[in-house]
Chain A
Amino acid sequence: MCVGTGLCFLGLLCLYRGIFGPTVLNRMAGISAIGTKTLVLLMVMGFIYNRVDMFVDISVVYALLNFVGSLAAAKYLEMRGEV
């Protein structure tokens, strides 16, 4: 439970970087870090509810979609010539 609360706090810090980030790259890094923290948070929820086998599936899918999403965003920014 303490770990989950700490992860939420760190996620808020990353959200600050995502909203007020000076450049686009800072924002993207912040959003990716929030995704990774959510992944660990899902696993902590699995340990709390004693259903780790189910939450592993969800967190694997979340990691995969986070990866594909950040890659697509990077490709889009490269195409726009903003990086």
Chain B
Amino acid sequence: MTRSTDDIIIKTVSRVLVPFIQLFALYVIMHGHSSPGGGFQGGVILGASFILLVITYGLDQTKRRMSEKADAIFSSVGLLIYAGIGALCLILGGNYLNYGELSKILPVGLAEARALGILGIEIGVGIAVMAVMFSIFLDVSTGGLPPSDNSEEGP
């Protein structure tokens, strides 16, 4: 599952398609409040683009773009953004995730602070979901082997 394919059609199509998939994922995350989608859905699409890279170009070449260490860092950073914004609202005197309190430290009004808070939460959720999806796929497709044994995987 994690070896590179030798089919030129699949390689070319996925090489052209992956940037557009990631752009569409960013669109879904950013427009989550006014159209279908949001942080989780955008994160899933972003993770699907990396899964497509692993399927077509193999694990070794994908790890040069997105190593397992970077993956773990991304999942932690996404969770930190989510919990950090919530805790910031708590520190500023409101309830947990009460975005209106962010207008005390941001130079914007109450409604705009709420919109920015929701956007920040969705970005955090998107990053975390992307990293966790990718790491689940890596663990399942390599059978949970340590990274050094991955290159000999397959029949």
Tell me the A residues contacting B by CB distance below 8 Å.
53-54, 57-58, 60-61, 64-65, 67-68, 71-72, 75-76, 79-81
Residues of A within 8 A of B5 (CB): 75
B37 interfacial contact with A, CB 8 Å: yes
Would you list 5 pairs from A and B whose C-beta atoms are within 8 A, ordered by A residue? Answer: A65-B48, A67-B17, A75-B1, A79-B154, A79-B155
Given A64-B45, A65-B48: A75 and B55 within 8 A (CB)? Answer: yes
Least distance between B7 CB and chain A CB atoms (Å): 10
Q: Which 5 A-B pairs have the closest CB atoms?
A: A68-B52, A68-B48, A75-B55, A54-B36, A71-B55
Beta-carbon contact of B35 and A61 below 8 Å? no
Residue pairs across A and B with CB atoms within 8 Å: the count is 39
Query: By DSSP majority rule, is chain A's interface helix, strand, loop, or mixed?
Result: helix
**Which residue on B lies nearest to A53, using beta carbons?**
B35
Residues of B within 8 A of A65 (CB): 48
Beta-carbon contact of B51 and A76 below 8 Å? no
In the bound assembly, the distance between CA atoms of A72 and B48 in angstroms comes to 11
**Which residue on A lies nearest to B34, using beta carbons?**
A54
B96 interfacial contact with A, CB 8 Å: no
Given A65-B48, A68-B48: A57 and B36 within 8 A (CB)? Answer: yes
Residues of B within 8 A of A67 (CB): 17
Beta-carbon contact of A81 and B155 below 8 Å? yes
Tally chain B residues at the interface, Cβ within 8 Å: 19
B residues 34-91 in Cβ contact with A at 8 Å:
35-37, 41, 45, 48, 51-52, 55-56
Beta-carbon contact of A64 and B36 below 8 Å? no
Given A57-B28, A79-B155: A71 and B10 within 8 A (CB)? Answer: yes
Beta-carbon contact of B51 and A72 below 8 Å? yes
Contact mask B1-30 → A, CB, 8 Å, 1/0?
A: 100010000100000010001001000100
In the bound assembly, the distance between CA atoms of A32 and B15 in angstroms comes to 21
Residues of B within 8 A of A76 (CB): 1
Beta-carbon contact of A79 and B55 below 8 Å? no
Residues of A within 8 A of B41 (CB): 61
Beta-carbon contact of A64 and B48 below 8 Å? yes
For A53, A54, A75, A80, the residue with the greatest tally of chain B CB atoms inside 10 Å of its CB is A75
Residues of B within 8 A of A75 (CB): 1, 5, 55
